Amino acid sequence: MTAKVVTVTSGKGGVGKTTTTANLGVALARLGKRVVLLDADIGLRNLDIVLGLENRIVYDLVDIVEGRAKVRQAMIKHKSLPELYLVPAAQTRDKTAVSPQDMVQLCNQIRPEFDFILIDCPAGIERGFRNAVAPADEVLIVTNPEVSAVRDADRIIGLLEAERKGPGRLILNRVKAEMIRRGEMLSPDDVTDILGIKIIGIVPEDDFVVPSSNSGVPVTLNEESRAGRAFHNIARRLMGEKVPFLPLEEKLGFFARLGRLFGGGGA
Amino acid sequence: MANWWDRLFGRGGDADGTGKQAKSRLQFVLLHDRLAIAPEKMEAMKAEILDVIKKYIQVDTEHLDIALQRRENASLLVAEVPYLNARMETPDSDIETIGGDAAREERQKNDA
């Protein structure tokens, strides 16, 4: 068996790359897959804190590349999911400490023991991006329904084609159904029309996401969360299952709609 | 704003919402991004194209439009050039050779 390497990228910062990587990792592990999460954002380490593993770090990615630690020594096991591991980024170095070739070698080394290696790519289109994309079998592009994020996603799609890693699949994050209904937000169809690539997931804006990061328990572990369910479905699609997309909004009853009439909104 | 009826029955959406603007603005800017041509270069190219056209025909420069467009998966450079009249005289002898009667007859022969 050999792991599939999936890189999560976006171009623009702040669209939810790290949250997406953490949640897909957790969801895949819950579906019985053996998963390594690789934080490639050297100098701006974050995947550890989102996963609640920030106090367990001994070695990091640069320690592995520079030979101070074996891969297994640097891997941190998740608290509740025994098949989920994190290789943290170095915090005190910069992107030039690692080369694309180092990333390919590292992934090849751990591929035989896992089902998925998910790489959290740094924002931007420079060295860190090339490092994260070099070993990828598949690339997921996270974007938001906003002009700046969609424009950056288009740039990334172009660069992926140039690196022969394209076209990648799209995750549209932080979607507000109520704003789409009012015509004040790009819809998933609009975004796929504009970018011309396939969509693998639509994640609604969800007030559970920030508290989840606050406590280091990814939102996909919360059954009540619609964003969590969306991440779970993306994980299943990554495994090759055909999973229908969730409706953008919970079905509203007549009285809820009556409330909308008088209250003016709210999804 | 959607009217009260649409709100009550969960339909509709505002056709004039900013979402539409976002889509059309993005489609426009991405055409330029993807071509990776600087706006000044684009302007220079337009001017040069126009100079060539003006050698042969009189052009209504007021209503001229040369722009990138996207139609059904094809990216196009579309020039809409309203013309007034054919130029009465050719500015130099080169053009006679390229576009003159002899060349036209030659092409018609090839087409037939």
pLDDT at A255: 66
Please indicate, yes or no, if residue A259 is contained in any of the structural domains: no
Provide the ipTM.
0.82
Q: Taking CB atoms and an 8 Å cutoff, what residues of chain A touch B26?
A: 147, 150-151, 186, 194
The separation between the first and the last C-alpha atoms of chain B, rounded to the nearest angstrom, is 61
Inter-residue contact A151 to B30 (CB < 8 Å): yes
| C-alpha dist (Å) from residue A63 to A58, A60, A67, A76, A96 | 10, 5, 6, 14, 14
Are the beta carbons of A252 and B16 separated by less than 8 Å? no
Q: Is residue A254 part of a domain?
A: no
DSSP A81: -
Q: Please, what is the angle between helix B18-35 and helix A147-162, to 10°? A: 30
Residue in chain A closest to B7 (alpha carbons) equals A261
CA B87 to CA B100: how far, in whole Å? Answer: 13
Q: Please report the number of interchain residue pairs, chain A to chain B, with beta-carbon separation below 8 angstroms.
A: 66
- With respect to residue A109, please indicate whether it lies within any of the assigned structural domains: yes
Domain-located, residue A41? yes
Question: Please, which pLDDT band fits residue A249 given cuts at 50, 70 and 90?
Answer: confident
Instruction: Give the domain CATH number at A198.
Output: 3.40.50.300
> For chain A, which residues lie within 8 Å of any Cβ of chain B, measuring from their own Cβ?
146-147, 150-151, 154-155, 158, 179-187, 190, 193-194, 196, 252, 257-258, 260-261
Query: For residue A153, what is the nearest residue in chain B, using CA coordinates?
Result: B30
0.95 surpassed by pTM: no
**The pLDDT of residue A235 is above 50:** yes
Bin A75: left if φ > 0, else alpha if -120 < ψ < 50, else beta.
Answer: beta
Question: For chain B, where are the E strands, in sequence order?
Answer: 57-59, 65-71, 74-80, 83-86
Q: Measured between CB atoms, which of B4, B13, B27 is closest to A182?
A: B13
Q: Is residue A267 one of the residues assigned to a domain? A: no
Tell me the H-state helices in A4-142: 17-30, 47-50, 61-65, 71-74, 100-110, 127-133
Per-residue pLDDT, B109: 59
Backbone phi, psi, residue A78, to 5°:
-65, 150
Of A147, A155, A181, the CB nearest to B22: A147
Q: Is residue A177 part of a domain?
A: yes
Q: What is the total count of domains within chain A?
A: 1
Domain residues for A10? 4-241
